[in-house]
């Protein structure tokens, strides 16, 4: 993902109403805690059945460059079964 770009994500099943999309930074645990832990909500611009359009984080202050898990959440707040790994930044 490049900062500030628009992306369309395809998912199944198409009957699910999507309410949130987020990035969660991969863990880097040292000495019992993760000082790099980060949750980054993405702005949804459109969510027709079967796809969801989002805007990537605006800059490295919001999401430092690196690898994240991309989660799609339904109306009940339950995440999809699998996360997609994405690289954010240049």
> Which three-class secondary structure state does DSSP give residue 32?
coil
What is the arithmetic mean of pLDDT over 10-26? 81
How confident is the model at residue 13, as a pLDDT? Answer: 65
Query: What is the residue-wise DSSP string for 59-84?
Result: STTTS-SEEEEEEEEETTSPBPSSPE
Predicted confidence at residue 26, as pLDDT, reads 87
pLDDT at residue number 6: 95
Q: What is the pLDDT of residue 27?
A: 78
Distance CA 8, CA 26 (A): 22
pLDDT at res. 19: 85
* Domains of the chain, each with CATH number or no CATH: 6-88 (2.60.40.10)
Distance CA 73, CA 62 (A): 20
Q: What is the pLDDT of residues 31-78, one digit of tens each?
A: 677 677 889 999 999 877 778 899 999 999 999 999 999 998 887 777
pTM above 0.75, yes or no: yes
């Amino acid at each position: 993902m490049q900062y500030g770009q628009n992306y369309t994500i395809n998912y199944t099943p198409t009957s699910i109403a999507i309410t949130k999309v987020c990035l969660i930074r991969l863990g880097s645990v040292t000495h019992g805690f993760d000082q790099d832990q980060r949750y980054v909500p993405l702005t949804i611009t459109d969510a027709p059945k079967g796809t969801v359009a989002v805007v990537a984080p605006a800059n490295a202050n919001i999401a430092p460059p690196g690898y994240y898990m991309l989660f799609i959440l339904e109306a009940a707040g339950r995440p999809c079964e699998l996360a997609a790994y994405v690289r954010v930044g240049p």
